[in-house]
Amino acid sequence: MTVRIGASMWVLLSLVPVCGQAAEADLLSGRYGHDASEPAYQAVWEVSHQGENWQARNLTEQAVSTAYRLSPAGRRAFWEKMDWPSHTSDTADCVTWGEAEPSLSDLLQESPADAEPKATEDVVGGTLVCHVPAEARKQIGWLQDSSEDWFYYDAMAGVMEVRRLPVDER
């Protein structure tokens, strides 16, 4: 049996992967807060994207940074750094921004101050927000008691449970 697909059907079928990618990206876009803010769960960070470009904004300081959706290799590298089971990074999704933390070899090498590594999709920046589904969280000691699917990380604060705020709280 031969099935013929018209030109309009080809257009619709070609949009399916794009729509799927947009839905995945929308998972990370939004405002985030934590219970230590005053008031609790006030918006502290905002992550947004347009096409392939990401941006993170610290709402308390009005600081804006270029952000990157972390690749699977980047997630695995962060999970290894945290000594979490690496397979649990497979279902996570993260956005990172800021200066990447220097490695020991970077610290030992003399280099100009402006040569510090920047975050990219394979390199974890100094800050990130991640979505980790409940099944994966249950396998990560630091996250297994979290009631939220989200965490925030930076070198100063460490890992902090955050909440993605509903659209009406924006």
Mean pLDDT of 77-89: 95
Q: Please provide residue 79's backbone torsions phi and psi, each rounded to the nearest 5 degrees.
A: -60, -45
For residue 1, the model assigns a pLDDT of 44
| Structural domain includes residue 98 | yes
Mean pLDDT of 67-81: 94
Q: Compare 51 and 56 and report the one with higher pLDDT.
A: 56
Mean pLDDT of 17-27: 52
For residue 16, the model assigns a pLDDT of 36
pLDDT digits (tens, 9 = 90+) for 152-161: 999 888 999 9
The domain in which residue 74 lies consists of: 8-169
For residue 13, the model assigns a pLDDT of 34
Q: Compare 71 and 17 and report the one with higher pLDDT.
A: 71
Neighbouring residues of 157: CB distance < 8 A, sequence distance ≥ 6: none
| Structural domain includes residue 3 | no
Of 162, 157, 36, nearest in space to 94 by CA:
162
Neighbouring residues of 65: CB distance < 8 A, sequence distance ≥ 6: 55, 56, 57, 58, 97, 98, 125, 127
Q: Please provide residue 86's backbone torsions phi and psi, each rounded to the nearest 5 degrees.
A: -60, -35
pLDDT at 55 over 90: yes
| Structural domain includes residue 83 | yes
| Structural domain includes residue 1 | no
pLDDT digits (tens, 9 = 90+) for 127-152: 999 999 999 999 999 899 999 999 99
Count of structural domains, the chain: 1
51: helix, coil or strand?
coil
| Structural domain includes residue 128 | yes
For residue 8, the model assigns a pLDDT of 38
Mean pLDDT of 74-78: 94
pLDDT at 11 over 60: no
| Structural domain includes residue 43 | yes
